[in-house]
Amino acid sequence: MADKIDPKRLSDLNDRLNAKKSVSKKETKHEDHYSGAQLGWRMVTELVVGMLMGLGIGYGLDHLFGTMPLFLIIFTILGFAAGVRTMMRSAEEAQMKDTIVDSDDLSIKNKDDNDD
């Protein structure tokens, strides 16, 4: 009896193993929440730092040249634009990382499907 292999039992075992693998993959999604929050704070920080740097440079130039609101306004707007540009770059980087992870998951699923 031990020498015979029952294909039905093997397929049941394979189904149970695949179910356990999918459950373990779903549990790792909890870490994505924290990385998303970290990305959000990183983007907010980049925007604020860009604006503050523009504000500081503009105030310094205005103080140096005696033209109080001119450079302050110009460099604050430029700092905001630089912060938005950096935020967009960070968002693109995160999207690229998610695309790579998703394509890796898809290739693993396709390998599992071809094994049957």
Asked whether residue 39 is assigned to any structural domain, the reply reads: yes
Q: What is the mean pLDDT of residues 55-79?
A: 95
Q: What is the mean pLDDT of residues 26-32?
A: 55
CA distance linking residue 2 with residue 52, whole number of Å? 75
Domain that residue 52 falls in: 33-115
Number of structural domains (the chain) is: 1
pTM of the predicted model as reported, rounded to 2 decimal places: 0.60
Phi/psi at 40 (5° precision): -60, -45
Asked whether residue 99 is assigned to any structural domain, the reply reads: yes
